[in-house]
A and B are shown apart, each in its own frame.
Chain A
């Protein structure tokens, strides 16, 4: 291993890491918002929106992110005559893909809250909205935390296809450097290390939060 070369590449990888984090952060936040809304729609079976939501979930969960990104980056400009820049594409692509997964996670959390919880809250005179806000939502989020964290990790790993729409993320930098200097092993090792730097804290934090929340709410 050529450690000298690795030290030289470090700033490039670091820059790429910030890009990955920037896109990842916005994309994941977006996926939570989309997931929450879509889960509510599917849980309450809101007419019309329910069918659209199911179609969206199946479409995004059953196609590769790469193709979704290609559509947004290359095909949409041809159809509508205007495009969005690569970074925006990455964020939106991640948010839409993640939204479909988050929606499913969150819906299973909503479904897992006992119906008696809703009934007893209603019997105390709460409106449907108050039942959601104070009783069902907090419990559903707690029940979903574990798969939320799994989704976040999955989405962060999925960012490795961004290089395909010319975003200079970790994967892009690694491939670029390998092509230029043939230091394949060095670059791949650095790639692994940088992904670990990004994802490992999420994993650990997720476990801690999940344990805390579970204990607070249900004591198991």
Chain B
């Protein structure tokens, strides 16, 4: 029990043919910790999350959740995935299910929990993300931001130990980003363990216990947000952060 919810990644290597995407990555995430992963596009951020969830076959190293190895080909992968709640960048709600069914389907068919209990919990979760009134709507009737909030509620319904968020606001209109990120800030306040891939730097700064800067498939720099964002140690991180500042300078002109 002491190890409950600990994620350990050792020497992770992921390649598509000759193209090495993640190259010997080590990372340990403690319960209650919020780790934000940032880096230029193509640096392997999303791939990292997909590996953690066993959606990608890995070419080396290992990923351990508590005492179980995460392996997409193993028989117990479905059990392990129940402990890992994932939200993707693209809206991935099930279009043929109502909002409440989206949230309750997995707890009912996977965890085989009583329907009444699951529905009550699902309604509470929808209420929490401010969408209880959309209970019986279909995903197509919702805005992008609302869909992502449902996707978060759907992942939470499985009571995961760790949440994996893969650029969940990247496809949203700017005015909808906040409503989604507020939900995540709320989860962080509650002490939910999360690994977050994002391009929203001010959000990263607000939510992170630890920031990891990924480039070329390995961790170039990591640290607490105050130190990382105000005084990065590596040139690469400094250059990366400057690409965000550049926009800000231009807007003052």
Contacts and interface: CB of A to CB of B under 8 A. Distances in A.
Interface of A: 114, 116-117, 119-127, 130, 134-135, 138-139, 142, 216-219
Nearest to A133: B109
A116 B92 contact: yes
Interface of B: 53, 55, 78-79, 81-82, 84-86, 88, 90, 92, 94-96, 105-106, 109-111, 138, 140-141, 151, 154-155, 158
A114 B140 CA distance: 15
B92 A117 contact: yes
Nearest to B72: A122
A135 B111 CA distance: 17
Nearest to B89: A116
Contact of A120 (B88, B110, B138, B141): B88
Nearest to B83: A125
B247 to A, nearest CB: 30
| Nearest 8 pairs of A and B residues by beta carbon | A125-B82, A219-B140, A120-B92, A124-B106, A123-B86, A217-B96, A125-B110, A125-B81
Contact of A130 (B82, B85, B94, B110): B110
Contacts of A125: 78-79, 81-82, 106, 110-111, 158
7 contacts: A122-B81, A124-B81, A124-B105, A125-B82, A125-B106, A125-B110, A130-B110
Residue among B84, B88, B106 with max Cβ neighbours from chain A (10 Å)? B106
A67 B90 CA distance: 50
B46 to A, nearest CB: 12
Contact of B96 (A122, A124, A126, A138): A138
B141 to A, nearest CB: 7
Dominant SS at the B interface?
Answer: mixed
Contacts of A116: 88, 90, 92
A135 B93 CA distance: 10
A218 B106 CA distance: 21
B83 to A, nearest CB: 8
Contacts of B95: 139, 217-218
Contacts of A130: 109-110
Contact of B55 (A123, A124, A142): A123
A178 B245 CA distance: 87
B109 A126 contact: yes
Contacts of A217: 95-96, 138
A219 B141 contact: yes
Nearest to B105: A134
Contacts of B78: 122, 125-127
Contacts of B158: 124-125
Given A124-B154, A124-B158, A218-B140, A117 B110 contact: no
A142 B84 contact: no
Specify which of A116, A117, A124 lies most central, judged by the most chain B CB atoms within 10 Å of its CB: A124
Contacts of B138: 216-217, 219
Contacts of A123: 53, 55, 81, 84-86, 155
Contacts of B79: 125
A61 to B, nearest CB: 30
B221 to A, nearest CB: 29
Contacts of B106: 121, 124-126
A138 B105 CA distance: 14
Contacts of A120: 86, 88, 92, 151
A126 B97 CA distance: 16
Contacts of A119: 55, 88, 92
Contact of B110 (A124, A138, A216, A218): A124
Given A124-B82, A134-B105, A218-B140, 10 more contacts: A116-B90, A119-B55, A122-B81, A123-B84, A124-B154, A125-B82, A125-B158, A130-B109, A217-B96, A219-B138
